[in-house]
Amino acid sequence: MLLLVPLLLGITLFAFFLLKALPGDIVVSLVGERATPETMESIRREIGADKSFAYQYWGYLKLLSRGDFGSSYYTNRSVLSDIAAKFPNTMTLAFAAMLFAVPSGIILGFIAAYSKDRFAEKCVDALSLSGLSIPVFWSALMVMILFSLKLKLFPPSGTGGPAFLVMPAFVLSIPAAATLARITKITVSDILGMPYIKTARAKGLSPLSIQGVHVLRNALIPIVTIIGLDFGSYLNGAVVTETIFGWDGIGRFTMEGIIKRDYPVIMGCIIVGTVLFVLINLITDLLYHLLDPRIRLHVRDR
């Protein structure tokens, strides 16, 4: 948490520099090339583009210190209020995607690890590799063509109830499920060869007890790590998925800001995304202490 402040300072400085270093004139993007020089100069003064980089950055930091992310160049609305309005949609999409990804990824990983049939293991490996390799924009279009245009089961795009949520959540869950399947398979395979598993079997414990108490609990650390990383990235806004499916979340909001070169919107989304990612990773670290008593003992010994 203490590192969050210097991290935010570094990220805002780096992002601010990159935005200002982009070729082209932001004022021309705002008013068009046919605007008079007087109009351009007036807009330049209004948004502070006539000042030095250091002066603009210092002014932005003063805004941030008051909890103000500035206003959009195009709508003149508060960036923070727009992000707050769109964040619940992104949160809903992230939770729905994890509901798809976590059970399917863990189940496929257990199947591959426990399977004595090499064919079943190769099928799981092929599925997980495909899920990681196929670009999200392609899988999104294929899902949209099949389930919306052909079968007409779900609306093709928009923000609304469960019918609008199913396709983007499913597409967003594919890479996460594939990663979880591979990590679960590797971790469970290693655990099954441990001496305490052999001891549990020798004691006559049921397979369900062995899998639930001894295998799954010891495999949760890497699984929780992947879930935390994926969930953090989802809360940052799944840019491609939200844009293709017209889901009104932070990812689509970020893309619109990038296309329009709306610097306050871009900077606001970057800062919110950074804070969310750090908080999710902090929660993940705290979960380690609950899942593995050895970590608590190690921290206490130090």
Distance of CA 249 to the CA centre of its chain: 12
Please tell me the distance from the alpha carbon of residue 228 to that of residue 52, in angstroms, as a whole number.
Answer: 40
- Cβ-contact 170, 238 below 8 angstroms: no
Parse the chain into domains and list their residue ranges. Answer: 4-65, 80-301
**Residue 47, Cβ density class (10 Å: 0-12 exposed, 13-18 middle, ≥19 buried):** middle
Nearest Cα to Cα of residue 174 among 102, 281, 84: 102
**Residue 101, Cβ density class (10 Å: 0-12 exposed, 13-18 middle, ≥19 buried):** buried
- Cβ-contact 8, 274 below 8 angstroms: yes
pTM of the model: 0.84
Per-residue pLDDT of the chain (302 residues; tens, 9 = 90+): 778 788 888 988 998 888 888 777 777 777 777 778 888 888 888 888 778 888 888 888 888 888 888 888 888 899 999 999 999 999 999 999 999 999 999 999 888 888 767 787 888 889 888 988 988 889 999 999 999 999 989 998 888 888 999 999 999 999 999 999 999 888 888 887 778 777 877 877 777 777 777 777 778 888 888 888 888 888 766 888 999 999 999 989 999 888 888 889 999 998 888 888 888 888 888 887 777 766 655 555 55
Contacts with 217 (C-beta within 8 Å, 6 or more apart), sequence order: 291
Q: What are phi and psi of 241, to 5 degrees?
A: -65, -45
Alpha helices in 115-153 (DSSP H): 118-133, 136-144
Please tell me the distance from the alpha carbon of residue 49 to that of residue 58, in angstroms, as a whole number.
Answer: 13
The second-level CATH assignment, the architecture, of 80-301 is Orthogonal Bundle (1.10)
